[in-house]
Structure 1
Amino acid sequence: MKDDDVKRVVKDRYGRVAREAGSCCSSSCCGTAEPREVGKKIGYSKDDLASAPQGANLGLGCGNPIAIASIQEGETVLDLGSGAGFDCFLASERVGPAGKVIGVDMTGEMVARAEANASRGGYKNVEFRLGEIESLPVEDGSVDLIVSNCVINLVPDKKAAFKEAYRVLRPGGRMIVSDIVLHGILPKFIRESVEAYVGCVSGAAEKEEYLASMRSAGFEDVRVMEEAAFSLDCVNCGPADRKILDGLEISEEELKGGEKAIVSMTVRAVKPVTA
């Protein structure tokens, strides 16, 4: 698909997720469409899951970037692909009244849902903006920390996404990203699957290419903090929770090859103080 077609498909699918309150399972679900169980699987504590407004956690992540972000009071945090606002609300508690959290999402339904959640939860230091990661509606050098959870793999131009992240960070600012990456070549049936792209798999970049894109944007001290194997059985999408493997003739060898290629990774990077 062309980049514009990819964005259209992603907007449509995640718009439906927002409207259906998480009934579309993400690639992280591993057999369950219950967002709280997904959260536990990818590293969120019971306190985290209980503290955010109901409906903020849609089970769309593949890691917990907030856990290792070392958020300080008074900081400005930006969440790329903020969805219904789950990570934003967790960050809000950590930055306190003197801090600020900005969530950016390209899906209008997600922004509306996040704003409703913020209003219901009484959050005063969180705002949500409609926009694309490759062209962020955020001022230069205005953010202390960027987080993102299983979103940049949906962006066709990942180099542009990292350049934008670098632009909006203050010198010395940091970025923590959880994402799906590849350790090999995906089988053709996955690479060509629209369902797999929206499920964060076929749009994923090769691991070293992903890290190189961060470095080429100007980031330093790029470090993989966590890494875990992924399974094709975790790729679910659609209101009926239809797996992309259904109806396809796939050999056991192809299936095992695909599973070995897919990895969930959390990476940390820093914008140089002298930038």
Structure 2
Amino acid sequence: MSASDDNVHDQVKEYYGKKVKKTEDLKLQACTVSFGSGLTKEVKEALASVHEEVSKKYYGCGLVIPECLEGMKILDLGSGSGLDCFALSKLVGPDGYVVGIDMTEEQLSVANEYIDYHTNLYGYKKPNVKFVKGYIERLMEAGLEENFFDIIVSNCVINLSPDKDAVLSQSHKVLKVGGELFFSDIYADKVVPENARKHPDLWGECISGALYWKDLHKIAESVGFSRPRIVSVTPVPVEREDFKKLLGDIKFASVTYRLFKLPPNCHESSAKAIYNGEISGHEEQLNFDHQLIFKANDSVCIDGLTHASLKYSRFAEEFLIQAQKCGDSSSKSELDNPFEILENLKSSGKEVPAACCSTKCC
């Protein structure tokens, strides 16, 4: 990694290790957008179970708890004080396993302090969560295995990395075939200018390092991930006047994406899929992305990419796939623009999700 990359790491460590001691110390709402509404009972209970001292140091821009988790091996990129890891450790159960990786000593210290507390609280005979020090651009160097994890999550951290290509490339390596990268991050509707990218506080506040949303698609394709699917979008306002002057008319949004690691040269045709309604907390329906909803026992037409994502992932046993032509056999070519989604919600009179600077907003 370059000297400039190391400089960014040092700035972020300083920001989250020394300057920011609790959520309220942040200057913007970007890294503290709410979990959102519609949480399942199990997820609410898992989040509520996390120790208060861990929750106080929560920084995130979305909910990174996907569905169908029991027994899964999960990696959290930039795990911070461990809130998401501890909630996930409850949801995967004693047969699952959660690893958090972070580069900030102060955050890791808090997380490690509460491993035994949560192990006892959940009634496990031994911990099913651990934390390692390392960089999310260098997972192999941190001792993580290739083709090991079922799911990778990350909550408002990838934007803090100076090398997003490396983060996604390393994530692809440590995921199993059929594994999923499910993460929330901040995105911009255009490329952030160089003068704003050099501002240390704006970088720490998850703004300077925000990717232009189209660039995520380019990186994902280059390392071998499936096309990113938008799960949810929330606008992120920049209200400080000094920051506005630097950023001009750029818009920002918190977006939760899911990307799958599919087998090489995998080509499935369109088909019909029937969800069995057996995923805990999603018995009536499963919201696969912001548009695709599977209602239990209903037949839904899916494109080839969705077919592959279901067939090779942990969702395979939850669906009956009927291999028959269903509409256009090709996957859609246009990219989902998160900012258009927000505009469409606004123009249609539907409620636009609101940003929130508290973990209580769920």
Q: TM-score range by the shorter chain?
A: 0.7 to 0.9
1:27–1:60 contact (8 Å) kept in structure 2: no
1:128 to 121, 128, 131: 131
Equivalences for residues 1-275 of structure 1 within 5 A: 2-16=4-18, 20-25=21-26, 27-28=28-29, 38=32, 41-43=34-36, 47-57=45-55, 58-66=57-65, 69-122=66-119, 124-136=127-139, 137=142, 138-186=144-192, 190-233=196-239, 245=241, 248=242, 257-258=249-250, 261-274=251-264
Report the Cα distance in structure 1 between the residues aligned to 2:118 and 2:135, rounded to whole angstroms. 26
TM-aligned CA deviation for residue 23 of structure 1? 4.8
Runs (4 or more) in structure 1 with deviation over 6 Å come to none
* Gap runs ≥5 in structure 2: 121-126, 266-362
CA contact (8 A) 2:191 2:211 kept: no
Change (3 A) 1:256 1:7: closer
Distance apart, 1:216 and its partner CA: 1.2
Distance in 1 between residues matched to 2:118 and 2:243, nearest whole Å: 47
Structure 2: distance between partners of 1:117 and 1:26: 27
CA offsets per residue over residues 216-254 of structure 1, 9 Å max, x none?
111114211112221112xxxxxxxxx6x4xx4966xx7
Residues 2/172 of structure 1: CA separation in 2 closer, same or farther (3 Å cut): same
Name stretches of at least 5 consecutive residues in structure 1 with no aligned partner: 31-37, 234-242
Are the equivalent residues in 2 in contact too, given 1:221–1:269 (CA < 8 A)?
yes
CA distance in 1, matches of 2:221, 2:28: 27
Quote the offset at 1:29 in angstroms.
6.2
Q: Deviations over 1:37-71 (max 9, x none)?
A: x57x33275534421111222231011021xx114
Larger RCO, structure (CA 8 Å, separation 6 or more) = 1
Q: Which amino acid aligns with 1:43?
A: G
Query: What SS is found at the alignment partner of 2:52?
Result: coil
C-alpha deviation, 1:150, in angstroms: 0.2
> Residues of 1 paired with 2:193 and 2:235: CA distance?
17
Secondary structure of 1:62's partner? coil
Across the two proteins, how many residue pairs are aligned to each other?
A: 248
- 8 Å Cα contact 1:29/1:59 also seen in 2: no
2:252 partner amino acid: I
- Aligned-pair RMSD on alpha carbons? 2.5
Q: TM-score, normalised by structure 1?
A: 0.81
CA radius of gyration, larger in: 2
Residue 35 of structure 1 corresponds to: none
Q: Identity percentage over the alignment?
A: 34
- Cα–Cα, structure 1 residues 256 and 174, in superposed 2: closer, same or farther, change >3 Å? same
